[in-house]
Amino acid sequence: MSLSVLQQEDGNIIDGKATAQKVLEEVKSEVAKMKQQGIEPCLAVVLVGADPASQVYVRNKVEKTQFVGMRSLEFRFEADLTQDALLAKIDELNADASVHGILVQLPLPKHIDETAVLQRINPIKDVDGFHSENVGGLSQGRDVLTPCTPTGCIRLLKDTLGNDLSGLHAVVVGRSNIVGKPMAALLLKESCTVTVVHSKTRHLEKLCQQADIIVAAVGRPKMITSAYVKDGAVVIDVGINRIQENGKNRLVGDVDFDDVLPIASAITPVPGGVGPMTIAYLMKNTLHAAKLQHVEL
């Protein structure tokens, strides 16, 4: 079976940056409508410590929150913040009706129990979709907040293949709580046939060869070569790996882009593919959270 792919502007390369911009514009116009009704959606971002990558992510999140016209709150703490103090901050944000979304940037310092922190966030303010209430809700197919990266991947797939993904065989490479597992649940919700493969999987290459859709989220630079990909498959690359190549630092995905590009019917580049979608869907989730907290809308 050959997949019918909607025309991409740039050949078979999926432009995540352009799609993310479209999503941000959608959110911006909905935010404007909410503000007219007297509700200003608000996202609170909490950063503990000074991890350089986390600082960049948080700055980006604040910028995009402001771009879509939402209120942005940022709380930065030293790396030696106690777990109790962090939980108290979350309690305060949970109790504040003007705050609709709470995001605690990961990773947290080692002395803090990540699960305890994520579980403390009120599930209707959990814009990361990491609370077990939301994880369970997703697995039951309920209208809950779902993790931003895999939700953004579904949007890219629908923009590429059309809204009906039913019956397609999707192979998810990786089983992390942030991407692999929720990705599988979201694809199942779209009635895909889903296979999850991981580091212990036997015949991983053969399983990937059967996929109409491959979502790579393992964190292994250029692991997915053309040998893994069926002619005409759609390939979504969630990987962001920093490597040294010819003496230079380069950002590459989990897919060997140049090798797979000629055989995939559509493929996301790194950077400029999935990356920008994550933050766009964080904005969408904050809007969703605000709606869940204002049932009158």
CA distances 171 to 120, 193, 269, Å, are 33, 8, 18
Catalytic residue check, 105: yes
CB 281 within 8 A of CB 148: yes
Q: Which residues bind ligand GUN (CB under 6 A)?
A: 103-106, 128, 148, 178
CA 39 to centroid of chain Cα atoms: 26
CB of 246 to ligand GUN, least distance (A): 28
- Asked if the bond preceding 150 is cis, omega within 30° of 0, the reply is no
Q: Which is nearer to ligand GUN, 56 or 243 (CB)?
A: 56
Q: Which is nearer to ligand GUN, 151 or 265 (CB)?
A: 151
Catalytic residue check, 15: no
Q: Which is nearer to ligand GUN, 32 or 56 (CB)?
A: 56
CB 215 within 8 A of CB 159: no
Catalytic residue, chosen from 61, 89, 181, 284, is 61
In whole angstroms, what is the distance from residue 88 CA to residue 277 CA? 31
Burial call 161-172: b when 16+ CB within 10 Å, e when fewer: beeebeebbbbb
CB of 79 to ligand GUN, least distance (A): 16
Q: Which residue is nearest to ligand GUN (CB)?
A: 106
Catalytic residue check, 66: no
CB of 33 to ligand GUN, least distance (A): 27
CB of 51 to ligand GUN, least distance (A): 9
Catalytic residue, chosen from 15, 64, 125, 128, is 128
Q: Which is nearer to ligand GUN, 89 or 230 (CB)?
A: 89
Q: Nearest Cα to 257, choosing from 7, 2, 13, 60?
A: 13
Catalytic residue, chosen from 89, 105, 159, 230, is 105
* Residues known to be catalytic: 61, 105, 128
